[in-house]
Each structure stands twice: as structure tokens, then as C-alpha cells.
């Protein structure tokens, strides 16, 4: 009776193929990814059957928190003249001009502060505190502090997060939110102005459980400055019609 001989086999698994696949997948994800931009508040947009895609460039996005705070984000096209940095500086200049026309306490920004502003993602602090806010950028851990301020997690109670958007508004005394939107329209970027005129240039992003009161306030503010057309950001409803 002969014994069955079991051949010793190496347990070495060839990982080359696996490696090939993972590298391919990695390349795919690296090329297709657009990173989530950090926003001061997380919102879940309501579902809708609308299949119109959001415009990626020339959009002024209004982020609305359920409590009624408002932040702005601006996405520009990639033309050389109106790069993100240029557009931001132009916007800040324009809003400063508009603000100084209607307020007694004049504001002005240094070149360094403008530089800091051009690098911001979302922004939303009262203009009177904007200088202080932008100065943080040069400090140690300044960016973290700025994020905290924007999100309202700052320990200093004087630091207000969100653009002031009071209810009483009349044509001759616009609130700061209206000044920003107006400044974006007048900053000289024709593409953005045109997009805003068509309604595609202003997008409201709000949580689905935000009360109508808050949404109505934002819409009303836009209506007052004749920004009657705008878009609402929605997620695609599963199942469709």
C-alpha cells in the first residue's frame, strides 16, 4: 500500500493582477472626484423629479441653515480674467463700495485681507467683522478658527456667523445679504451677471426640514432686489414620476 504523497505547494498568492485592478480603480476615482467643499452647515436637500443639472460655473450659491443663517459660495468659470481670486477681490471691492454708500461706519480692506478673502470657500460674517475675520488667516491655526467662526462654534459670543439678513427691508436700505447679491451682479463679470439674470446664477441650498418662514425670508430678500428668478438645489427623487 503506497502512501499518497501530497505535494507541498507554495502558499504564495500572486497579487500582481489584484494590484493592476486596484490601480485602475484608483485612477478612475482620482480623475472623477470632485471634493466635497467644506460648508459651515450640513444640509439635506429635498428630493424632486426635476432632472435639470446644476450649473457648475458662474453660480452664487446661497446656503441656508434651518435657523435662518445664510452663507454664500461663489463658483466662477475658469477664464483668466475672472479666475476665482480675481472675481473674489472684485466682489469684495464692490460690496465695500455699496456698504460705504449706505452706512456711516466705513469699512476698508488691506491687500492682505483681500488676498485672504480670495482663498475662502464659503463666506458669511457681517461686513463690520469681516476685517477681523480675514486677519485670522495669517494666524496660527487661523483656518480652523475661521471654520469655527463660520459654523458658529466660536467661543467668542461677539463673533456672528452668517450674513445679516434682517426681515425689514426697503429699497433704500438694503441688508448685507442683498448687498452681496447685488455686488455679485455688478462686479463686472458679464458671464455671472447674465447667469443671474437668467436665474441659473443664484442657487438656494437649504435643508428639507427648514421652515417655510426662513425660505420665504430669503426669497423675499431676493425679490426685493429684483432677483426674481433663481433655482433651488434638489436631489433626484428615486423612482421618478
Partner 1 sequence: MAEVQQSGGDSGKKGHQKKMQIRVDFTPMVDMNMLLITFFMLCTTMIKSQTLTIALPTNEKVQNEENMSQASADDAVTIIIDAKKKPGPTPGTLVVDSVNGNVVNEIYYYDGKPGGEAGMLGPGGAILSQNNNLKKSDLLSDEVNSVGDHKARGIRQIIQERNKAVLEKVTALKKDLADGKFGSLETKDEREAAMAKYNEAASKVRKDENIKKPVIIIKSTPEASYRGLVDILDEMQINSISKYQIDNLTDVDLIMLDDYRKNHKE
- Distance in angstroms (rounded) separating the CA atoms of residues 73 and 88: 10
Cβ of residue 28: shortest distance to partner 1, in angstroms?
Answer: 9
Rule CB under 8 A: say whether 230 interacts with partner 1: yes
Shortest Å, Cβ 213 to partner 1: 4
Q: Please state, in angstroms and rounded to a whole number, the distance separating the CA atoms of residues 31 and 117.
A: 28
Q: Per CB under 8 A, does 203 bind partner 1? A: yes
Does 239 interact with partner 1 (rule: CB under 8 A)? Answer: yes
Q: What radius of gyration, in Å, describes the C-alpha atoms of the chain? A: 24
Q: How far is the CB of 25 from partner 1 (least distance, A)?
A: 5
- Distant-in-sequence, close-in-space partners of 119: CB < 8 Å, separation ≥ 6: 85, 137
Q: Cell 492682505 belongs to which residue? A: 112
Residue selected from 8, 35, 80, 105 as contacting partner 1 according to rule CB under 8 A: 35
Query: Cell numbers at residue 85, please?
Result: 481670486
Candidates 41-49, 73-81, 131-139, 186-194: pick the segment binding partner 1 (CB under 8 A). Answer: 41-49
H-helix or E-strand containing 156? Answer: none
Answer yes or no whether residue 213 interacts with partner 1 by CB under 8 A: yes
Q: Does 167 bind partner 1 (CB under 8 A)?
A: no
Q: Which of 4, 6, 11, 12 binds partner 1 (CB under 8 A)?
A: 12
- DSSP H helical segments within 69-110, as ranges? 84-102
Interface with partner 1, residue 82, by CB under 8 A: no
211 φ, ψ (degrees, to nearest 5):
-75, 155
Q: How far apart are CA 89 and CA 117, in angstroms?
A: 7
4 counts as binding partner 1 under rule CB under 8 A: no
- The binding track of 49-68 with respect to partner 1, each residue x by CB under 8 A or -, is xxxxxxxx------------
Q: How far is CA 57 from CA 45, 206, 232, in A?
A: 20, 19, 16
Using the rule CB under 8 A, give the single segment among 90-98, 123-131, 174-182, 222-230 that binds partner 1: 222-230
How far is residue 45's CA from residue 56's CA, in Å, rounded to a whole number? 17
Using CB under 8 A as the binding rule, whether residue 216 contacts partner 1 is answered as: yes
Q: Kindly indicate which of the ranges 72-80, 98-106, 107-115, 211-219 contains the residues binding partner 1, using the contact rule CB under 8 A.
A: 211-219
Give φ, ψ of 218 to 5 degrees.
-65, -45
Alpha carbon distance, N-terminus to C-terminus of the chain:
75
| Contact by Cβ (8 Å): 122, 147 | no
- Cell readout for 173 is 436700505
Binding residue for partner 1, selected from 1, 7, 17, 189, defined by CB under 8 A: 17
Question: Residue 49 Cβ, how far from partner 1 at the closest point, in Å?
Answer: 5
* Binding-site ranges for partner 1 (CB under 8 A): 12-19, 22-23, 25-26, 29-30, 32-36, 45-56, 199-200, 203, 205-216, 219-220, 223-224, 226, 228-237, 239, 241
Amino acid at each position: 500500500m503506497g502512501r499518497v504523497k501530497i505535494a507541498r505547494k507554495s502558499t504564495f498568492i500572486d497579487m500582481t493582477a489584484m494590484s493592476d485592478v486596484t490601480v485602475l480603480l484608483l485612477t478612475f476615482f482620482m480623475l472623477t472626484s470632485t471634493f466635497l467643499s467644506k460648508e459651515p452647515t450640513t444640509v439635506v436637500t429635498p428630493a424632486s423629479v426635476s432632472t435639470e443639472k446644476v450649473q457648475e460655473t458662474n453660480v452664487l450659491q446661497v446656503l441656508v441653515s434651518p435657523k435662518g443663517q445664510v452663507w454664500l459660495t461663489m463658483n466662477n468659470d475658469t477664464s483668466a480674467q475672472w479666475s476665482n481670486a480675481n472675481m473674489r477681490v472684485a466682489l469684495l471691492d464692490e460690496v465695500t463700495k455699496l456698504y460705504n454708500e449706505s452706512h456711516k461706519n466705513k469699512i476698508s480692506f488691506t491687500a492682505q485681507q483681500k488676498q485672504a478673502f480670495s482663498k475662502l470657500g464659503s463666506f458669511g460674517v457681517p461686513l463690520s467683522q469681516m476685517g477681523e475675520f480675514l486677519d485670522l488667516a495669517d494666524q496660527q491655526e487661523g483656518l480652523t478658527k475661521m471654520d469655527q467662526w463660520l459654523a458658529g462654534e466660536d467661543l467668542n459670543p461677539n463673533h456672528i456667523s452668517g450674513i445679516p439678513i434682517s426681515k425689514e427691508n426697503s429699497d433704500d436700505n438694503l441688508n448685507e445679504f442683498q448687498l452681496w447679491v447685488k455686488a455679485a451682479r455688478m462686479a463686472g463679470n458679464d458671464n455671472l451677471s447674465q447667469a443671474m439674470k437668467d436665474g441659473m446664477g443664484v442657487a438656494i441650498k437649504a435643508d428639507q426640514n427648514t421652515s417655510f418662514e426662513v425660505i420665504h425670508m430669503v426669497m423675499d430678500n431676493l425679490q426685493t432686489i429684483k432677483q426674481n428668478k433663481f433655482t433651488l438645489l434638489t436631489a433626484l427623487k428615486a423612482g421618478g414620476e
